[in-house]
Structure 1
């Protein structure tokens, strides 16, 4: 209860006119940046950090925090309407969101995403308010061994549970891991699979690949099969027409709440972040939801799992940042730099020595979350113009966005070539029934897995026993084995039921 007393004190800081304007500006810029492929929260916060140099520290961090969680809302827009995720956490949203757009339900998909984002974000902020110092200490128990086991569980979930056939999902996962190995080894600095091309020394960049595989592949599909994309000219979006029915709310709410709880915990883990939270919560929802079998075909439950998780994870990332000075993601590292720039040292004493700052920030997150959903819902009618554009005109527009987004990642024309190649690869993989999402997820997670694996072996003198002697790591490995073995055993014991 003491924390809530501090929170009410924080509202007296957050409700100052300058801080409300900062939250509003940050949320708006975050949504805009999130909806633009190729930028994302990390680049957005980095580019806009100089705007806060001369601000009061509390006002400045409120604006940067608004950009961070506003980006989570905005990433769903382009993912749902154009099948181009604005950032990595929105990849899972695109699976069901774009499928709903193709069914003429873009408005409902956007509303479901916003509603789930609000629920997940609110849950994450409440947990952060009550348990921030405690959560940070729990996160410290996740060392390299635990992170390896968690990522192995994620890999198995991705490959085994996505796609029409598990073997196709596993092959896609393997391809994604192979692509992630291109470039310099993060441990010893050796070059791998570069073919002497200097552009590959730093590895392949995620943004051009995701834009190519989700966006440019759709351009190819539009040009080869125009009739399938007539939905782009049919729907008129209104707020009233986008409202969810009672049944749809019942589908969104529990999935968003569950993903919010799990996503917040994943968000506090150093190196995990919203991307892993979105992936794992989507796979969890696919397993436990009543409509889990329909995930990926255009159901609000799938959107709820992804959006609830990434917004809660964004809130959870503040626990280790404020309590221990440990950034849980690249964006959190930018926020840490901002704190140090203002002369503030994150750590256990921050909540006592800078109470107004910490609790003012937490209070502003409640306000910012409300601002985000109001802005996100208000723009739904204006998005109707995107859906009215004929496919013949939409294709070159999307192509232009793809080129600009890929180039903006590193200001390098080579990334545009990577994007185009990735688009053709994704097009042929889709035609061959290979799912794209496992490839992208494996590509994102492999670098983290590789680094954690190396650290774990160094800690234990090269012995793999560390993975079996730590309780959390062992528990995650057992969960991974059960994930693989239970469906196989069930299929042999009762083939008909397993097929269903």
Structure 2
């Protein structure tokens, strides 16, 4: 009954005219950037952070959350109609979705993707609401040592689940932690790693790093690729799936929803891993695996349900523990910090309007996406005909304005350009930037908790693995070590996907 009362309170917050409008804007912008390849939700959310400065924190987070799960919807439209995934989590959807479109079944593929996404989003939202209070109660029992160890586990999971080389993932984690230490030490007042350069005294702005690494770098990467859009020419019709389609797709939706909900909670997981996992599962369980890759409807329903469920449940560790499970959630932490909100267990108790209002808005946003997406298919098709070379100058211009507006400092724009070039080079060399962004966000909190734990233990480093004093911390460290050993085991490393996939 308490859960229903909390949800009712959340809906009373979410259905105010302002929040409904912000939710709609987030859903539309998310769909747009999902449809148009080349920028992604990370850069978009980072770009829009300055706009949210004057908004109410609840409304700002409702809009930014809408962009994230809206991008999962929009990415499927591009994948099905053009065979060009607008979002990395829609790579798998393109395999069978585009084949269905070529056979004249684009409408059915789009409808199945939308219905699966809505069902998965609804389930994910309910799961966030149900697990919120229990996990918050657990988190409130955490001390500084436990929090530090939990963040270590989060970084290790980001290493294990990152694509490519384990050593490169570890290197990116350390680079992120290193960048987070730049600026003035709050306890001693001494400048660290600024080389006497005054603009760096306050540290590196989160938006500057995120925009450079994911916005500018993504533009550079897209410009070097030759555009080849296999746009389905025939008109999209029959946007309602048949009864046979629903019977075939329903089990895949259920399995994808369950798998995505679990993987979304894991640090380092997220929508991309969920989509790939769901597709592999459906192919193995199918009685006709030979149809996959040729237009199997389960190959659309499973991954689309999984990536949307994961997009919803990835908010669970963020809201309850303060740990961002992926790069997008790391950007959300940045948004919370801008508004003076400390992510973690205190959100539910101190800011129930924000916590429950955000959860309620997720269901409203998912409903909006189903209602607005299918009727607007014709508009998305026309937008897909716009060449990327005509889009990127506008994207670059608005990115630069967004960065400059934070502190009104030209140096911030120059620094963003530097990080853009750095991000582009890292991608070319096979380094994945996402773990670095997660480490950058957690770095300052980890340092604070490390200092607190060391003060309480009188400088004893074994306090983190002392089962008698800190069993939670010791258990988390043991799990972290075991995961790291598994990650560097050669037998497992050979099976790792060496193809870089950016979330």
Superposition TM-score, scaled by structure 1 size: 0.66
Q: 1:388 aligns with which of 385, 389, 414?
A: 385
Cα gap change, 1:251 to 1:151, in 2 (>3 Å): farther
- Structure 2 equivalent of residue 57 of structure 1: none
Q: 2:56 aligns with which of 8, 24, 49?
A: 49
SS in 1 for 2:421: helix
Cα–Cα, structure 1 residues 478 and 195, in superposed 2: closer, same or farther, change >3 Å?
Answer: same
Matches within 5 A, 1:171-190: 171-190=171-190
* Paired residues of 2:157 and 2:267 also in contact (CA < 8 A): no
Could you tell me how far apart the structure 2 residues matched to 1:360 and 1:436 are? Answer: 32
Whether 1:156 and 2:152 are equivalent positions in the alignment is no
Q: How many residues are treated as equivalent by the alignment?
A: 437
> 1:430-481: per-residue Cα shift (whole Å, max 9, x none)?
2222222233332232222222222222232222333223232222212212
Structure 2 partner of 1:27 = 23
Matched residues in 2 for 1:449 and 1:475: separation? 18
- Choose which of 414, 419, 433 in structure 1 pairs with 2:430: 433
CA separation of 1:136/1:172 partners in 2, compared to 1, >3 Å: closer, same or farther? closer
Q: SS of the residue aligned with 1:164?
A: coil
2:139 maps to 139
Q: Distance in 2 between matches of 1:186 and 1:449?
A: 14
Q: Which moved more, 1:464-473 or 1:112-121?
A: 112-121
User: CA offsets per residue over residues 403-448 of structure 1, 9 Å max, x none?
Assistant: 2343344443222212211222122222222222233332232222
Residues 134 and 191 of structure 1: CA distance in aligned 2, closer, same or farther (over 3 Å): same
User: For 1:65-104, what aligned pairs fall within 5 Å after superposition?
Assistant: 66-67=62-63, 69-74=65-70, 95-97=88-90
In the alignment, the residues of structure 1 paired with residue 164 and residue 259 of structure 2 have an alpha-carbon distance, to the nearest angstrom, of: 26
State the partner residue of 1:466. 463
Q: Secondary structure at the match of 2:152?
A: helix
Q: Which residue of 2 aligns with 1:209?
A: 209
Taking a change above 3 Å as real, the CA distance of residues 381 and 170 of structure 1, as seen in their structure-2 partners, is farther
State the distance in 1 between where 2:300 and 2:406 align: 31
Going from structure 1 to structure 2, the CA distance change for 1:170 and 1:201 (only over 3 Å counts) comes to same
In the TM superposition, residue 140 of structure 1 has moved relative to its aligned partner by 0.6
Q: Distance in 2 between matches of 1:101 and 1:407?
A: 37
Contact 1:128 1:319 in 2 (8 A): no
Q: Check whether the contact 1:150–1:476 (CA below 8 A) recurs between aligned residues.
A: yes
Match of 2:296 in 1: none
* Contact kept in structure 2, 1:122 and 1:312, CA below 8 Å: no
**Corresponding residue for residue 198 of structure 2:** 198
Deviation by residue 1:21-52 (Cα, 9 ceiling, x = unmatched): 455323113335766825578656542229xx
Take 1:407 and 1:101, find their aligned partners in 2: how far apart are those partners? 37
Matched with 1:421 is 418
SS at match of 1:461: coil
Could you say what the CA RMSD is over the residues aligned between the two structures, in angstroms? 5.3
Secondary structure of 1:27's aligned partner: helix
Q: Which residue is equivalent to 1:257?
A: 258
CA distance in 2, matches of 1:367, 1:427: 37
Shift of 1:187: 4.7
The CA distance in 2 between the partners of 1:28 and 1:380, in whole Å, is: 17
- 1:314 CA drift (Å): 4.1
Alignment map for 1:348-363 (pairs within 5 Å): none
In structure 1, how many angstroms separate the alpha carbons of the residues matched to 2:368 and 2:351? 27
CA distance in structure 2 between the aligned counterparts of 1:186 and 1:299, rounded to whole angstroms: 50
Shift of 1:394: 3.2
Q: Summarize the alignment of residues 110-121 of structure 1 with structure 2, pairs less than 5 Å apart.
A: 118=118, 121=121
Q: Is the 8 A contact 2:191 2:201 kept in 1?
A: yes
Per-residue CA distance 1:283-337 (angstroms, 9 max, x = gap)? 9759976749xxxxx999888666534433547777799xxxxxx9576689998
2:396 aligned with 1:404, yes or no? Answer: no
CA distance in 2 between partners of 1:98 and 1:290 (Å) = 11
Q: Distance in 2 between matches of 1:5 and 1:205?
A: 39
Residue number in structure 1 paired with 2:2: 3
- Taking structure 2 as the reference length, the TM-score comes to 0.65
User: Relative to structure 1, is the Cα distance of residues 449 and 48 closer, same or farther in structure 2, using a 3 angstrom cutoff?
Assistant: same
1:391 CA drift (Å): 3.6
The reply on whether 1:450 has 2:447 as its aligned counterpart is: yes
What is the SS of the residue equivalent to 1:72?
helix
Q: Tell me the residue number matched to 1:279.
A: 268
Which stretch shows the higher mean deviation, 32-41 or 436-445?
A: 32-41
2:447 and 2:433 map into 1 onto residues whose CA distance is 22
Query: Partners of 1:112 and 1:190 in 2: how far apart?
Result: 57
